Amino acid sequence: MGAVIFVCLLSYLLGSIPNGLVFGRLLWHVDLREYGSHNIGATNAWRTLGKGPGFLIFLLDFLKGALSVYAAEVFVGTPLIMVLAGILAIVGHSCSLFLHFKGGKGVATGLGVIAMLMPVPSLIVFLVWLVIVMITKYVSLGSCIAAALVPVLAYVWGYPLPYTVFGILAAAFIIIRHKANIIRLMNGTENKIHAGHRH
């Protein structure tokens, strides 16, 4: 029981680390909350600071999810706790302890989680996201469609039931976090992805 509590706390704390805010200030002297979408995630870092910083923030947020699941595998080793660790990492990213329970939308952290839980589906999800973003330039559209694919692929690949349940919960959470983006997509006012424009 102690190991489970440790893993849960660690996962939430890892998820809560606001990489975009910390490294934006530390390396580029920019508070991402003051630019673009005011979000601390990789997309706003890409838009505000450029491709390199955007990729760095994406990678760091990805690692938060991956390391949380890895810790659960090492210290506990059951699919249920690995899934719980992943969920808590995503919640931590979106409701950070260090940002008054605010944060990003959980896409990069969520990808890190499914990369550890379901490597092949995670690759497919990433490629689908990439193709949609490259064609449409809408990160939010790619993120919502990719998130919705996760439970479908988990079921098709025959992963344990907790993984499919995780996919459903994570997809719902990420899509809900994109509610404003979905409204803008429907209205034709959503911002397209362009690197390195502070506004």
Q: What is the pLDDT of residues 1-60, one digit of tens each?
A: 899 999 999 999 999 999 999 999 999 999 999 998 889 999 999 989 999 999 999 999
> Residue 95: pLDDT above 80?
yes
Position 176 scores a pLDDT of 95
- pLDDT, tens digit (0-9, with 9 covering 90-100), for 111-170: 999 999 999 999 999 999 999 999 999 999 999 999 999 999 999 999 999 999 999 999
- β-strand partners of 102: 96
* pTM for the predicted model, two decimal places: 0.92
Cα angle value 123/129/131 (rounded, 5°) = 100
Percentage of the chain with pLDDT > 70?
Answer: 97
Kindly state whether residue 193 falls inside one of the protein's structural domains.
no
Confidence band (pLDDT; 50, 70, 90) for 85?
very high
Kindly state whether residue 112 falls inside one of the protein's structural domains.
yes
Kindly state whether residue 196 falls inside one of the protein's structural domains.
no
Kindly state whether residue 192 falls inside one of the protein's structural domains.
no
Position 169 scores a pLDDT of 93
Tally the domains of the chain. Answer: 1
Kindly state whether residue 53 falls inside one of the protein's structural domains.
yes
Kindly state whether residue 130 falls inside one of the protein's structural domains.
yes
Tell me the pLDDT of the chain averaged across its residues. Answer: 94
Contacts of 188 (CB under 8 A, 6+ apart): none
Position 193 scores a pLDDT of 84
Confidence band (pLDDT; 50, 70, 90) for 194?
confident
> Residue 191: pLDDT above 90?
no
Q: What is the mean predicted confidence (pLDDT) over 82-103?
A: 95
The DSSP result for 48-100, as a single string, is HH-HHHHHHHHHHHHHHHHHHHHHHHHHT--HHHHHHHHHHHHHHHHSBGGGT
> What range defines the domain where residue 72 resides?
2-187
- β-strand partners of 96: 102
